[in-house]
Amino acid sequence: MLTADRVDGVVFAGAPSERSPGDRKPRFAVGEAVCTRNRHPRGHTRLPRYARGRVGVIWRIHGCHVFPDSNAMGGGEDPQFLYGVRFSAAELWGEDAEAPGDSLCLDLWEPYLERP
C-alpha cells in the first residue's frame, strides 16, 4: 500500500507503464499511414493540438501501456497500444516549417489514431 510518507520516493523512482495486451493485437502496423483524430476532449490528453488531424507514418510499436488520458482522470489504466508516429514538418506546419524536409516523431496512443 502506498502511504503518504512513501509518495516522493515512488514518484521519483518511476514505475513501468507497460501492460499485457491480453489477446489484443495492435490495430496499426509499422510503415502504415495514420491520421490523428481531430478532437478536443475535456481534461487530460497527450495528443498535441498541432498534430491533430495530421497524417503520419507508424515507425515503431512500443507495446501496450497505461493510457494516461483515462488514468489521469480517475478512469483507470485502460491499457492501449502506443506507437511512434513520424510526421513531416511540412505536414505539421505547412509553409511555416523551418526545414520542410525535416520530420518530427511523436509517441501516440491507439485511440488518437485512425486510417486516413
70-81 pLDDT, tens digit per residue, is 988 888 999 999
- Grid look-up 490495430 returns 27
**What predicted TM-score, i.e. pTM, was given to this entire model?**
0.86
* More confidently predicted of 37 and 43: 37
Cα separation, 70 vs 24, whole angstroms: 19
Query: CA nearest 115: which of 59, 56, 64, 69?
Result: 56
53 alpha carbon, distance to own chain's centre = 14
Report H helices in the chain.
7-13, 68-72, 89-93
- In order of their start, the domains of the chain are 18-114 (2.30.30.50)
Does residue 40 sit in helix, strand or coil? coil
